[in-house]
Structure 1
Amino acid sequence: MDALVVSPLLQVVFDKLALVITRKSTTRGDYEKEMQKLQDRLPIIQAVIEDAEERQHGDKKIKIWLQKLKDVAYDAEDLLDMIHARVLSKQVLESDRFTYSPSYDTGILGKGKLLAEEFGELMNRKVRLASHVVESVPNYFINLRKLRDIRERLDDIAKEMGEFQLKEVLMSRLPETGNREGRETGPHIVESEVCGRKEDVEKVVKMLLESNTDVRVISIIGIGGIGKTTVAQLAYNDERVKKHFDLKIWISLYDDFNPRKIMREMLDYAVISLLQSQLRKALYGKRYLLVLDDVWNEDPDEWDKVKNLLGDGTNGNKVIVTSRSGKVASIMSSSPAYHLEALSEDDCWTLFEQRAFPDGDENGFPNLLPIGKQIIDKCKGVPLAAKVLGSLMRFKREESEWLRVQGSESWNLDGGENKILQVLKLSFDHLPSHLKRCFAYCAVLPKKFEICKEKLIHQWIAGGLAQRSAHDRVSEPEDIGSDYLNDLLRMSFLEVVSGCDDSSTTRIKMHDLIHDLAISVAGNEFLTAGKTEQQGTLEQSHSLPKVCDFFTPTRHAVVDSNSSSSLIHKALYRAKGLRTLNLLSLGDASEKAIRNLISSSKYLRILNLSGFGIKLLHKSVGDLTYLRYLDLSNTPIEKLPASICNLQLQTLDLSSCYNLQKLPKKTRIMTSLRHLKIKNCARLARLPGFTGRMRNLQSLPIFIVGKTREDDLSQLLELQNLRGELKIKHLENVPTDFSLLLF
């Protein structure tokens, strides 16, 4: 598939640009003029970007144009983030102050020591503020030059756009009708070619035959290729259903949920005119079954119009709806949806076998059968995948050919991959711009990986994928991210791991085929290196320069490393635009190698070192200006460098860092921090002073009460945005007259 998806990134840049302009992050005229020009230019390109994305498959020039647009969009986002970070840094320096804070029982010597410390802090702050002012002069001219360069590149791209005669389309619209003809379905089916759905069909038929005074909608929900239409077809053609209903109507909607189309096609089936009154006459007194196959429209008003056409359903009329969206089911009926589960491995094998060995000669190739079983494991119960793979293997009889398919991670199967993913990609094409990028980001998760719901949302926020708009001062990014995740769950792009009843620990996963789709739409920006399911370690048959060139466009990387993968680390040093780095299963790998990797990736937004055997984090981490998410959970780290306080972190995860003894003294200046995860940090005896100044904090699972004003309960009262659980330790440190000391 290898298609460039640029529209979501352009929307992110536009939103960030609007945010910088609205909040007047820069007050100098030259900056404002250049930014205004950018803001004027972007909507012109956005209007035609989706047409370009569709036409890139048949026009290489358009694809090259999209790549240039994507590169400049990333550069623009980096610059806007840098400008915003410097503004925040200055605000922190101006507002930070050390407050005289004796303990409740401090003597004269103790008070004198604190006064001296306060004076020292004051002088240090003035020096840092002066340094910031001095640095801002050259930075102004450097950033202005970058801004002009970006604007000029965008102007050139806009000029090239005229060569392609791109059409203006609505953002996140549905695919053109011409591309949908292959999905037009009907009620006819060859039952002998269906395996493993007998029980599902029986359940649906039973629901159809139940007496009910209302039109009852039966929604069949599941991912693309799972067999929703097949089950509806089998139920529709069941002899009991034929006898039960006077009239049966099948309408394939795909994405065109249009009340007029439904009425017109129902009238065609009833052989009467196109008037609504005649439709009612045609249906009056008859018990009918209406199948609406492949419904995508999620507008409840449109469904209400159709429902009014169907009458009161006193004759036991039924409607079957198939959809990939749980939201469609909830809109169309209050009855629980019927969720179609994956086929059993045996049924998948039967489907595969029918196509791979159509002459029934499978016993003549005993060497291929065990390999075929392993290939079937890739299908994970999706009938469509079993059929496509079976058809692919039909003309392959050499063991080496089957092994090549079985060992393929990316499923580049001479078009087979496209046949599988093309159906799944229909769902992706329907997503609005913001959900496309959130879904594509999930390619950074290893296959079969389960991630905590909160962690995924926090990573989206850190990557700028779930942000409030420039004019929205109410919504929290966490709520926006949660809405996005729920939308992807409803569309079957993501799944909740079974058994996760506690919303605070809900884990999310992706079906393997959906994961393949994510990798496909993500393209060469995402890389998984190191161990793989099939091969154990990444083959390193290329020369270093070639590998380095391969890594250059990488923006997001997962490294499952071991002692033999030093080449991977060296190659990743060349990924200068890296934004996400997940280091998995590293054990006690070289801290120096990790330090070098981090220092070469100055654009990192997300750094995950969870489970890595690191005891110390090098101070160079403080140079990662863009870093917003740092996960050090489940590591033996003992302390953090003071330089970490220079970052505009939003999430700092230190959960289960059992050796962590203290946090940096100036943690208080990390005012952008929203989530400070310190659960199960057994050796952490106290919190740094003035945590109450981190007013954006939403997660602080533990508060340790100290003996001074800087760490007493009054600090906790300043944190008005806290959510979730909170455990308060050392309440014995609260003085008896605490309530009086607050006023």
Structure 2
Amino acid sequence: MSVVSIVGMGGLGKTTLAQMVYNDERVSRYFQLKGWVDVSEDHFDVKAVARKIVMSFTRNPCDIEDMGNLQNMITTQVQDMKFFLVLDNVWNVQKEIWDVLLSLLVGAQLGMILVTTRDETISKMIGTIPSYDLSFLTSEESWQLFKQMAFGFIDQHMDQQFERFGRKIVGKCGGLPLAIKAIGSSLRGETNEETWKDVSESDQWGLPAEEDRVLPALKLSYDRMPVQLKRCFVFLSLLPKGYYFWKEDMINLWMCLGLLKQYCTGRHENIGRMYFDDLIQRAMIQRAESDEKLECFVTHDLIHDLAHYVSGGDFLRINTQYLHETIGKFRYLSLVVSSSDHTDLALNSVTIPGGIRILKVVNARDNRRCSKSISDLYNLRVLDARTDSLRELPQGIKKLVNLRHLNLDLWSPLCMPCGIGGLTRLQTLPRFSIGSGGWHSNVAELHHMVNIHGELCITGLRRVINVDDAQTANLVSKNQLQILRLDWSDGVCPNNCSHPSSQNDVATPDPEHEEEIFESLRPHKNIEELEVVNYSGYKYPSWFGASTFMQLAKIILCQQSCKFLPPLEELPSLCILSMECMTGVEHVRQEFRGNITTKAFPALEELEFQEILKWVEWSQVGQDDFPSLRLLKIKDSHGLRYLPQELSSSLTKLVIKDCSKLASLPAIPNLTTLVLKSKINEQILNDLHFPRLRSLKVLLSRSIEHLLLDNQNHPLLKVLVISVCPRFHSIMGLSSLGSLKFLKINRCPYLQLPSDKPLSTQLRLLTITKCPLLADWLEVQISHQQCQLHESKDAWYEEQQALDELNDASEDEQREEFGLLYEDENGEDNDEQDHEQSEDEEIQYGSDDSSEEDE
């Protein structure tokens, strides 16, 4: 295992250089597994780092606390793989702890760890390769970067006076890229020569380091911000260093503090996005390297120091390690749960000063109750208590009449006290949990909470006894609500609370009663997304699918008992429709498209059916229906036999998974991407006829042994991925595919191909993994393709784009990534323990530096 460090002071660009390496196509092509971990803690906690490695490798959340389980997960992921791991911003680590981390990665075929650090001592201690030491930019390099940030160009001629002042400013930045970017961005668009002169001659450049904790260039950049932007920037000091955050979360914080309405007119969210983008342009916020689906952001450590410096005496960010110290009179407080603390840390014992306006809890994973002292925080406007283990809000929370922002985790086993409806100024309430008995909240309490905007998830609707309470909730008046989730259960994690009258009160589903409740929960016509979960009614409300919902763009239905799908054909803006676990549906017919004479589902682009076990047929689709449909997914519908004979010509991607009784696919004239997974009828595989098909991926169960392809039916097929087909023996017609450019075959231990039939001369990239019987075939193909297989950046990007298009964005993609197969028809675990003879190497051709390593 190799370890190399990038060493340099803060602001030199260590992380930027690491990002360039991480995203380089040669690295992505060579390593099968990549991960990025931002360490950014004074204390190197190996458990916290291990948890982040799991999240980065799997791209899924990880709350595992047991070190043994973490080790097993990491070992499984890297086993026989070539991995590349970046550990960014390592501050402090002891040799014995570092060795523990390395032991987690044992078993990899090849490992490369890239570390960024300011400490040369750390580099020497952990490095196995000489470090790369970053130096300051030269005078000319600094000037070119400054021109790009200040003027948006490098080569264009500029006024002599501007150049004189600009070069003077650059000289005082000392060759530090971050300082140059910040001060250059702050002067972008500035045409007043006196302003340039004032910046270049500012007294702040001469302040000794001990008198100014931040770089002068950064302080000057802050000074040049508009006052409204300064007010927003300073709240970054509440986050710990290296903390990844989402754009919308920060905008919500600003919005609830009234920072977005004092200087501008217009929708607050749009103003917030404008401010946020301005901070990015000024190099005060930067995009984080993250494998999360949503884009994350982070502040550089030196920028964080600046935010703390200018925040004055009103802001406090305190680590839970120091909670024994007295918390002074601050208006804005964040409690950062140390990764070295026990996960059952009792934050309910913390005494919080009464003048606080913001209370934010960061990194908490097992905080079951909020501190009772928050009931006395009468000035509190923002309470951020997101943790997936929060079980209870204190009864005294109803006293916080000035509260505007209550941020709660959607999936925590939460119960709320009665009286919470008195918080009429609340603007953000992502979760409202309904209970029974005198202690718990009632759905009727939503009546006066008319200022709620953004997202609202109501759980526990099965506990609503009186229909009048649902009507009193008055959802139709909440015109700023964009996303509404209605869940008849208690959510993902049921709450087993012990409050009076709450024992054994989970009602048995009453379909007629639930229908009445649902009818009374009509939202405002401005709603944009609607999700319904665990609904047991036999029919949907009369308003559901009404064309008056002009902005409704996304609907998710999950775990429904209705026998018929709701008529949604008239919704003019519906783009995404997903239906999962529809237990009563057997037929999808006329009722789904309705009786309209015009095109049904005019704007629908993505349609997904999943786990509809009784579903037998889908029919009666009009010729002009679904005119905008691009993506159709049908998964885990084992009884499905018939689909419409023809679907929209707009459809370009089809995903079929676990539909073993489906014998044929519809005619789809413009289909370009097809994904077939797990239990697929062999008749489908032998009758694929899509003349415009360009990308095909098959991942099949043990029952399938052969695949038939030919150029006549697939004249344009460019990308072919055959992955995890444990009983595959042959692919007939492979050599006839004249347009094939990218071929990837993965984990097909019994697959054999004829060596006397060369592949298409168009082939550019060929990847073979864990297919031991293809060794001789591969050698022959390489000899035939020697002239064609060559390194091409354009070809690599084209292949990556095609592979991304083939990905299904679902959990089974990760199962495939690590070779975890599906259960076969007999229920046996379908992993590859019975194929230990399978070789572990990945051989990839199409690059001049490709290797044929077998170890």
**Shorter-normalised TM range:** 0.3 to 0.5
Q: TM-score, normalised by structure 1?
A: 0.35
TM-score (norm 2): 0.31
Query: Higher helix share goes to which structure?
Result: 1
Which protein has the bigger strand share?
Answer: 2
Q: Which has the higher contact order (CA 8 A, sep 6+)?
A: 1
